[in-house]
Amino acid sequence: MVTVSTSAFYERSNQQIGSLRKQAENLQQQVGSRERLSRSSEDPLAAAKLRSLARRERLSEIDQRNSDRAKTSLSLADSSLSSVTSSIIRARDLALKAASTTLTDDNRKAIAAEIEAIRGNLIALGNTPDGEGVSLFGGAVSGPAYVESGGVVSYVGGANAQVTELGEGQTVERSITGPDIFSFNGPSGATDIFAVLGAFSAALNAGGTAAAAAADDAVAALDPALQKATTAQTVIGTRMAWVETMDERRIASDEMIAQDRETVGGADFATTYTRLQEMMTVLEASQASFIKLSSLSLFDQLR
């Protein structure tokens, strides 16, 4: 005859119920987190894989922030370059108008005033800030890209545009330097838009027969100036497209990481929830059985 002691009964029952309760808690955690692992010791290989995936996710987040910065700068550069090309086109139209022999000196002085305003606006566009303490077209240096002294505008920025990492060893230049926009080879050699407009405005203000000839010279110089600015726009557009391509690749990679996480450490909600319901049923039945057995008169006699 097997003898059952009171202490042994309670100890065995508590162990069984405690084990069932722990399993139920684990399943509840899996249902809430959608992850089957609560600690590395449950599956060391899977846990190592999940840590690797987590590192890749963090790197992807950094790359995405860099991409967002690059897109912001490139979008601002594109908008500024649109204003640059519009200003050059307007200056060329004014030069064509000023070349007319029917204009008076007063007419040309009025045109000169607008040319000076356009020149000032182009200087401001050349010094467009990028929001991070540097000039958008000044390369990787702080401060303005252009300074004016004695009527001469000079580039004081860096030689190269800022470079941003996009992940996978790929980079992009976030803008373009001022000389790649405003400097060009004109009919008389190397020059820039500021010098051309400054000389043109001065000639118009001086008046006389030389003003019409100066207007013709300005038209000839503004054609390559416009071409240089539109080429810069094309470069910026190409870089924006490259950033978008890298974004698409990153999204595809993130989706693969998410799938791997689900495969390695994910808990299927429907299956886990069903197991939880079954476990809760078993736990409740075990608790009810324990209460019932502990209250039987036969059990009282065994004690």
Summarised one tens digit per residue, pLDDT across range 180-191 is 999 999 999 999
Is the residue at 17 inside a domain? no
Is the residue at 156 inside a domain? yes
CA-CA-CA-CA torsion sign (100, 105, 111, 112): positive
More confident residue, 4 or 43: 43
Distance between CA atoms of residues 86 and 146, nearest Å: 20
Task: Identify the pLDDT of residue 140.
Answer: 84
The position carrying tokens 């005033």 is 113
Is the residue at 145 inside a domain? yes
More confident residue, 266 or 187: 187
CATH for 190 = 1.20.1330.10
pTM above 0.85, yes or no: no
Distance between CA atoms of residues 121 and 87, nearest Å: 8
For the cut 80, the answer to whether the pLDDT of residue 269 exceeds it is no
Distance between CA atoms of residues 226 and 13, nearest Å: 88
Indicate the helix (H) or strand (E) that contains 154: strand 152-155
When pLDDT is averaged across residues 229-253 and rounded to a whole number, the result is: 97
Distance of CA 255 to the CA centre of its chain: 18
Is the residue at 95 inside a domain? yes
- Residue 12 in 3-state DSSP? helix
Residues of the chain with pLDDT > 90: what percent?
Answer: 61
pLDDT per residue as tens digits for the range 82-137: 999 999 999 999 999 999 989 999 999 999 999 999 999 999 999 999 878 789 99
- Domain limits at 177? 56-259
pLDDT per residue as tens digits for the range 148-203: 999 999 999 999 999 999 999 999 999 999 999 999 999 999 999 999 999 999 99
Domain count, the chain: 1
For the cut 70, the answer to whether the pLDDT of residue 273 exceeds it is no
Is the residue at 225 inside a domain? yes
Is the residue at 289 inside a domain? no
